[in-house]
């Protein structure tokens, strides 16, 4: 067991102990529950790292403005005078 994993289990077991009102005599159950929680977090992290991130629908391309808005923009722009 790596030191980092053991420390994470210790911290999680302490959280469980506090949440349950600091009962005496349940340290083994807290430790096993904490170990299962840490293993589950690690498994979720590994599977998330393997999966490619999907882009949200419509996030990749900007949508074109409606035709009416384009026409209004063109009409409001001043026309350049032709060189004589």
Rounded Cα distance, 27 and 33, in Å: 10
Q: What is the pLDDT of residues 4-32, one digit of tens each?
A: 999 999 999 999 999 999 999 999 999 99
Pick from 11, 19, 1: nearest CA to 37: 11
Q: What is the pLDDT of residues 35-53, one digit of tens each?
A: 999 999 999 887 776 666 5
């Amino acid at each position: 067991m790596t030191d980092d994993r053991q420390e994470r289990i210790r911290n999680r077991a302490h959280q469980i102990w506090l949440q349950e009102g600091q009962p005496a005599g349940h340290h083994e159950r807290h430790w096993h529950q904490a170990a299962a929680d840490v293993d589950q977090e690690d498994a979720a992290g590994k599977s998330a790292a393997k999966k490619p991130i999907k882009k949200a629908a419509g996030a990749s391309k900007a949508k074109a403005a409606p035709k009416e808005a384009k026409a209004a923009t063109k009409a409001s722009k001043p026309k350049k005078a032709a060189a004589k």
